[in-house]
Amino acid sequence: MPEKPNHCGIINLNHKHLNSVLMIIEKHFEVLKKIFWRDGIKCLTMENICHCLGIAKKTLYKDFANKKELVNALFYEDFKRFRRELLHKINDRSDAIQQLCVFFDLLSKRQNSFSYATLGDLRKYYPELQSEINGLENRLIMEIATLILKQGIAEKNFREDIVPERIVSIFSFHYMSGIILRSNQIHQNQFSFSDTGLLDFHFRSISTPAGLELWNSRMANFVSRI
């Protein structure tokens, strides 16, 4: 796959102790993600967080004036890791069919990784952060999927008459719709890339006969992983 542009680096947190902040987030990322993604944001206090991390409050307050700064840094770090994993796993696949399977797989996992409480709290109490993260996700999805589709056309696995930019806008719509419905705690009628019928529809609508044969040969293995 062609070399990808640098979609986004670490977001500028406008923090005077940026290096120290990033060290704290990277060191405790898995624990922080586990509690925030599971329990939501509102119910967690700085004292709760310090207890979970096994550190003194003064250690956390040295770099974060309040929970809002911590939440911002955590969500930006999470996006950075998602982007890195997405690029790495896609680049590790040989053709556009495999790349699109991996792409959908990772989008499905990300859609379902956030609890309803977390997304609801993000929408209610951190709307600016939610808007910025959603914007970063949308741009990443659009850029990466466009590259995959153009490669698939060159490989003759996808039809020459498709317009990649229009197709990927549908992918982005499905992803963002799933996130928005979860943030409003709507459990029904969610769009998810773990819906194999939806994936099959997408592949059949854009693939050449050769591409469709590849998709059919890999679908069973792909479905077993999601």
Q: Each residue of 165-192: pLDDT tens digit?
A: 999 999 998 888 877 776 666 555 556 6
For 207, which DSSP code? B
pLDDT, position 192: 65
pLDDT category at 21 given cuts 50, 70, 90 is confident
Question: Is position 4 within any domain?
Answer: no
Longest dimension (CA), the chain: 62
Count up the domains in the chain and report the number: 1
Question: Is position 146 within any domain?
Answer: yes
Q: What percent of the chain has pLDDT over 90?
A: 63
pLDDT category at 18 given cuts 50, 70, 90 is low
Q: Residue 96 in contact with residue 150, Cβ under 8 Å? A: no
> What average pLDDT does the structure give for the chain?
86
Question: Is position 130 within any domain?
Answer: yes
Domain of residue 164, residue span: 93-225
Question: Is position 1 within any domain?
Answer: no
The predicted model scores a pTM of 0.85
Mean pLDDT across the stretch 76-81? 95
User: Over the range 152-186, which residues count as b (16 or more CB within 10 Å of their CB) and which as e?
Assistant: bbebebbeeebebeebbeebbebbbebbbbbbeee
Alpha-carbon gap, residue 166 to 168, rounded angstroms: 6
Question: Is position 126 within any domain?
Answer: yes
Question: Is position 11 within any domain?
Answer: no
Question: Is position 178 within any domain?
Answer: yes
Residue 100 maps to which CATH number? 1.10.357
- Centre a 10 Å sphere on the Cβ of residue 148 and count the other Cβ atoms it contains: 26
Question: Is position 14 within any domain?
Answer: no
Q: Encode pLDDT of 88-145 as tens digits.
A: 999 999 899 999 989 998 998 898 888 889 999 999 999 999 999 999 999 999 999 9
pLDDT category at 5 given cuts 50, 70, 90 is very low
Mean pLDDT across the stretch 151-162? 97
- Work out the angle at residue 125's Cα, subtended by the Cα atoms of residues 120 and 128, and round it to the nearest 5 degrees: 100
